[in-house]
Amino acid sequence: MLFTRYPVIAPVSLSIALLINSCSESKISQCQRLIKVVNHGTSLIDTKKGQEASKSFQLSKDLKNVTQSIQQLNLQDPTLQKFQPRFIRVFDNLSLAIAKAANALEETKQAEASSNGRMKITKARKQIDSTLTTAAKTAGKESDSLGLQLNQYCSQEVTKN
């Protein structure tokens, strides 16, 4: 009686293990999901940047949504989990910088046609340039570096399989 159970238990255990393993998402598919969201955020910046405050405010909101999408990815791979907060920080910083620049741009529209108004416009333009330059130098460079590292890691995973 005891010997007849073991031939059944082994195949059932193996089947359960294979089923659990096949249900878990592969590193490659996790890479693809993260890359897709990051590329979406990058393309938003490329296509929606502009000189209008309303477009900039919308871009800031869209980048905030990208940040939330990255947070919700539920990545299981430990290396990808390390990339996740770094990309969140990049898109969050870009969103904040663009919102700040949009606020300054909005101030230029409300400035009066006077010497005081021209001073406000000059100050706002400096703030816009400073904010966007800083964002490009810090978040932009970090995004490029992270993207390169992510692509290297994910391409290694593809060649392993």
Residue positions counted in the chain: 161
The full DSSP string for 56-113 is HHHHHHHHHHHHHHHHTT----HHHHHHHHHHHHHHHHHHHHHHHHHHHHHHHHH--S
Residues near 89 by Cβ (< 8 Å), separated by ≥ 6? 142
* DSSP state for residue 72 in the 8-state scheme: T
pLDDT at 19: 39
3-state secondary structure of 43: helix
pLDDT at 160: 64
pLDDT digits 0-9 by tens, 115-127: 777 777 777 777 7
Six-digit token pair at 134? 């800083």
105 neighbors 53 (Cβ within 8 angstroms): yes
**Which pLDDT band holds residue 157 (cuts at 50, 70, 90)?**
low
Q: Is the pTM of this model over 0.85?
A: no
How many CB atoms lie under 10 A from the CB of residue 7?
9
Amino acid at position 71, single letter: Q
- Using DSSP, how many helices (H) and how many strands (E) does the chain show? 6, 0
